[in-house]
A = this chain, B = another copy of it.
Amino acid sequence: MKRVTLSHGSGGRLMHDLIKGLFIKELKNPFLSKLDDGACLNIGREKILFTTDSYVVNPIFFAGGDIGSLSIYGTVNDLSVCGARPLFISVGLIIEDGLEMKILERVTKSIKTATRLAKVNVVTGDMKVVEKGMCDKIFINTSGVGRRLENFNLSLDNVRTGDQIIISGSIGRHGVSILSSREGFEFDNKVKSDCAPLNGLLSRMGGLSGEIRFMRDPTRGGLATTLNEFVEGRRFGIVIDEGEIPVSGPVKSVCELLGFDPLYMANEGRVVIIVSKKASKKALSLLKNHPQGKGARIIGEIVNGYKGKVCLKTETGGLRLLKMLASEQLPRIC
């Protein structure tokens, strides 16, 4: 393609191809090539996790959150699912000339509340202002540094046939919340974003660390894209049971009304866990005992067949191939 398009930012296929074909190719090094959500680094005697994300969500305030809390939780979650304890966050602001000071204050207060909830500190920052019309109100980059938890050894290389796949709660809430706010829809049961820090929930998993193979937060591109990232280039496949995937009534309604698929809708407070069959019941009950994991479900498993593919067992008994998000479903979802 001759130009970068919105679809390149979707978290789906085009983005993956651009990242591999350009960034990984040019900037090649052992850390980057892993294509993980964060980089695991050895500094002296310590194992550090380092991650970054820019937030351009539109609108900046939405039901259940705003760009401030999202920017903190997103980075906290990237560190958490990589098996690290999130510690330190940087905040880089790009602000449009003329932004109301009240908005900046509200976003800053939201960052403050989020850091307290997630038990992290914003330790360094930067602010740039660009001319009116040269950015959309405010963009935030957060980077995060965490300490890798010794007992976790998370890698897709450890995945075995029969391993179970757990989702920590109902899917699609963040995407539907943004969509509703953006379109000005007012539904009776307004869907709130699931935007939340995962480190509290995942700290419950410490005792099962040896049995947990891999974790990811299904953000841009949704659950379907995350599952595809699990199997890409691997000698195993995934079969998911459609009937087991938790989707709330309101999310289902909005998606049906507007022609979106909840499987591809962004989440900002959910985690997908691949866990050994043996430990899966225990993992599920640990999750369910935490307020953020009440809706957890085992939704499928790792299979020997369908190598590199994700299959959905539909409620009508059929099998459907679930691909990675192919183009932009919703721009600027985070």
Q: Which residues of A contact B (CB under 8 A)?
A: 1-9, 15, 18-19, 22-23, 26-27, 29, 31-32, 36-39, 41, 43-46, 48, 50-56, 87-88, 90-102, 104-105, 108-109, 111-112, 115, 121-131, 133-136, 139, 141, 143, 145, 147, 331-332, 334
Q: Which chain B residue has the least Cβ–Cβ distance from A99?
A: B4
- The answer to whether A31 and B131 touch (CB under 8 A), given A43-B145, A101-B3, is no
Contact B43 A45 (CB under 8 A): no
- Residues of B contacting A53 in the complex (Cβ-Cβ under 8 angstroms): 92, 126
A12 to chain B, nearest CB (A): 12
- The answer to whether A50 and B145 touch (CB under 8 A), given A56-B130, A123-B32, is yes
Residue in B46, B97, B108 whose beta carbon sits within 8 Å of that of A26 in the complex:
B108
In the complex, A48→B23 CA distance in Å? 26
A152 to chain B, nearest CB (A): 16
Q: Which chain B residue has the least Cβ–Cβ distance from A116?
A: B27
Contact A94 B94 (CB under 8 A): yes
Residue in B95, B111, B125 whose beta carbon sits within 8 Å of that of A4 in the complex:
B95
Contact B15 A127 (CB under 8 A): yes
7 sampled A-B residue pairs with Cβ under 8 A: A3-B100, A26-B109, A41-B145, A45-B45, A48-B48, A56-B130, A135-B135
Residue in B104, B108, B143 whose beta carbon sits within 8 Å of that of A27 in the complex:
B108
Residue in B22, B43, B100 whose beta carbon sits within 8 Å of that of A104 in the complex:
B22
Contact B135 A134 (CB under 8 A): yes
Contact A115 B43 (CB under 8 A): no
A241 to chain B, nearest CB (A): 32
Q: Which chain B residue has the least Cβ–Cβ distance from A85?
A: B43
- Residues of B contacting A52 in the complex (Cβ-Cβ under 8 angstroms): 90-92, 124-126, 141, 143
A30 to chain B, nearest CB (A): 9
In the complex, A121→B144 CA distance in Å? 17
In the complex, A195→B18 CA distance in Å? 28
A123 to chain B, nearest CB (A): 4
A29 to chain B, nearest CB (A): 5
- Which 8 residue pairs across A and B have the least CB separation, nearest first? A9-B129, A143-B143, A52-B90, A141-B141, A39-B123, A31-B123, A54-B92, A39-B124
Contact A124 B26 (CB under 8 A): no
A130 to chain B, nearest CB (A): 5
- Residues of B contacting A8 in the complex (Cβ-Cβ under 8 angstroms): 95, 127, 129
In the complex, A331→B332 CA distance in Å? 26
A32 to chain B, nearest CB (A): 6
Q: Which chain B residue has the least Cβ–Cβ distance from A22?
A: B108
Contact B332 A27 (CB under 8 A): no
Contact B4 A41 (CB under 8 A): no
